[in-house]
Copies of this chain bind each other. A is one copy, B any other.
Amino acid sequence: MALLTEDLPLIDGHCHAITTGPLDDAAFELWCTEADEPPPAGTSYLDSRVGLALRRWCAPVLDLPAHAPVEDYLRRRRRLGPDEVAGRLLRAAGLSALLVDTGPVAGGLADRVVLGTLAGAPTHQVVRLELLAEQVAPGTDAGGFAAAFGEALDEALPGAVATKSIAAYRHGLGLDPARPGPHEVSAAAARWFRDGGRLTDPVLLRHLLWSAVEAGLPIQLHTGFGDRDAALARADPALLQPFCEATLPFGVPLVLLHCYPFHRQAGWLAQVYPHVHADVGLAVPHLGARATAVLGEFLELAPFGKVIYSSDAYGLPELYLIAAAQLRHSLGLVLAEMVDDGAAAPADARRIAEQVGAGNAARVYRLG
C-alpha cells in the first residue's frame, strides 16, 4: 500500500527554543546528540541515525540531493544563513501547532514568538515546574516557598496548556507518590535554601508535581533517555506507577515523554490508567529510520487514543523537521504494514495516523 501520511497534520506536542545565531561545525554537531562532550577521535556524532536522517530530510530543503555529505550540508547551511535555513526547515515541517517548553533559554536561543513565526503556526506554552521553583526561590524563605511557588504557578498558567516535570533528572522516578504536607515542604525548602544548588529534593519535586495536579493542566513528565545528566536506570516510567495510581482520581492527564527504551512499559501504563498517555518525542528524531520499529512498539498496548507525537526538538531547526518528516514516513510504514497484513482497514490506518499526529494532542491539551 502507498504511504498514507505525507500530508498528515502534526501538532508538535513538546519542543524547546530554537537557535537562530550562526553555528560553527563543532557546535552544530553537538546540537545533534544527547552527548555534551566532543566525540572521540575518528568518530562523529553525525555518523549516526540522526546524521543520516538529517542528510535525508533536510538536505533537499536546502536544495541539495538527499544524502549529500555532511560537509556539503554544512557549507550550504552557512551560505544560506541561519534565518533562511531556519525558515525553510521549520516551514517544511508543516506543523499545525507547537507546544514549547520555554525552560532553558540560554544565549543564542530565540523565544517562542520567533519559533512560531518561523514555523508559521501557533505556539503554546509548557511551564517547567522545577525552573519556576528555582526562579521563585531567591525571593522567598523556606516558610514562604510553597505560597510563593503557588502564586508563580497561578500567574504562569493562564498562558499555558501544560506543565512539565523533570523529576527524572533531578531525583529519578522512584518517588513516594504521597502529597507532602506543608511542614515537610517547608523543612525541605529550608534544606534546599541552606545547601543551594539545583532543586533535587524529592519532597520538593513531589510538591511541585502535586501543585501541578491541583492546577489541572496536563502534566508532561520526562521519562526514559535524555542527555547524560539523566540516570537511565531511574527513568523507567514503570517507576511512576504509584504516582499514576495516586493521581487517578484527579483525572489530570499525565503525558509520559520520550519513554524509550521503556516505551513498552509506558504503553501498558497508558492502557491501564485512563489519564496516562505516551509521547514519542525525542525517540523519533534521534532514532532516524529506526523510528519505524519503535513506533510499532509504542503502538502495542497503548490504545491509539493515547499516543502523542512530539519532536522534543531543541536548538537546531533541523530537529523539528527531522522529527516531523520521520514521523510521517515511519508511521506511514507502520500503518501500511498493518493494512498489508490484513490487520486494519485503510480507513482505520488513516484515523490512527490522524490521532497520533494531531488529534490526541488537540484533545488532551484542549487546543480547541
Q: Name A residues whose Cβ lies closer than 8 Å to a Cβ of B.
A: 33-40, 42-45, 47-49, 52-53, 56, 66-67, 225, 227-228, 231-233, 236, 238-239, 241, 245, 248, 253, 260-261, 264-265, 268-269, 271-275, 286-290, 292-294, 296-297, 299-306, 333, 338, 341-345, 348, 355, 363
Q: Which of B248, B268, B293, B301 is the one whose CB lies under 8 Å from A297? A: B293
| Residues A274 and B238 in contact, CB atoms below 8 Å apart | no
Give Cα A338 to B291, complex, Å: 12
| Residues A305 and B44 in contact, CB atoms below 8 Å apart | yes
Contacts of A271 in B (CB 8 A): 33-35, 45, 48
| Residues B52 and A272 in contact, CB atoms below 8 Å apart | no
15 contacting pairs across A/B (C-beta < 8 A): A33-B271, A33-B303, A34-B271, A42-B305, A43-B306, A44-B305, A47-B305, A48-B304, A56-B343, A56-B344, A227-B272, A231-B241, A232-B268, A260-B264, A286-B301
Q: Which of B38, B272, B305, B333 is the one whose CB lies under 8 Å from A274? A: B38
Give Cα A38 to B248, complex, Å: 12
| Residues A342 and B305 in contact, CB atoms below 8 Å apart | no
Q: Which of B233, B273, B292, B306 is the one whose CB lies under 8 Å from A228? A: B273
Give Cα A300 to B293, complex, Å: 10
| Residues A289 and B52 in contact, CB atoms below 8 Å apart | no
Contacts of A288 in B (CB 8 A): 343
Contacts of A231 in B (CB 8 A): 241
Contacts of A52 in B (CB 8 A): 338, 343-344, 348
| Residues A241 and B233 in contact, CB atoms below 8 Å apart | yes
Min CB gap A220→B, angstroms: 17
Tell me the number of copies of this protein.
Answer: 3
Smallest Cβ-Cβ distance to A53: which chain B residue = B343
Contacts of A260 in B (CB 8 A): 264
| Residues B261 and A67 in contact, CB atoms below 8 Å apart | no
Give Cα A45 to B35, complex, Å: 39
| Residues B348 and A303 in contact, CB atoms below 8 Å apart | no
| Residues B47 and A304 in contact, CB atoms below 8 Å apart | yes
| Residues A303 and B363 in contact, CB atoms below 8 Å apart | no
Contacts of A39 in B (CB 8 A): 274, 303, 305
| Residues A67 and B345 in contact, CB atoms below 8 Å apart | yes
Known: A228-B272, A268-B232, A274-B38. Contact between A348 and B300, CB under 8 A?
no
Known: A40-B274, A67-B345, A289-B341. Contact between A239 and B248, CB under 8 A?
no
Contacts of A33 in B (CB 8 A): 271-272, 303
| Residues A232 and B303 in contact, CB atoms below 8 Å apart | no
Give Cα A287 to B300, complex, Å: 5
Contacts of A56 in B (CB 8 A): 342-344
Of residues A67, A239, A287, A303, which shows the largest number of chain B Cβ atoms within 10 Å of its Cβ? A303
Q: Which of B225, B264, B333, B343 is the one whose CB lies under 8 Å from A301? A: B225
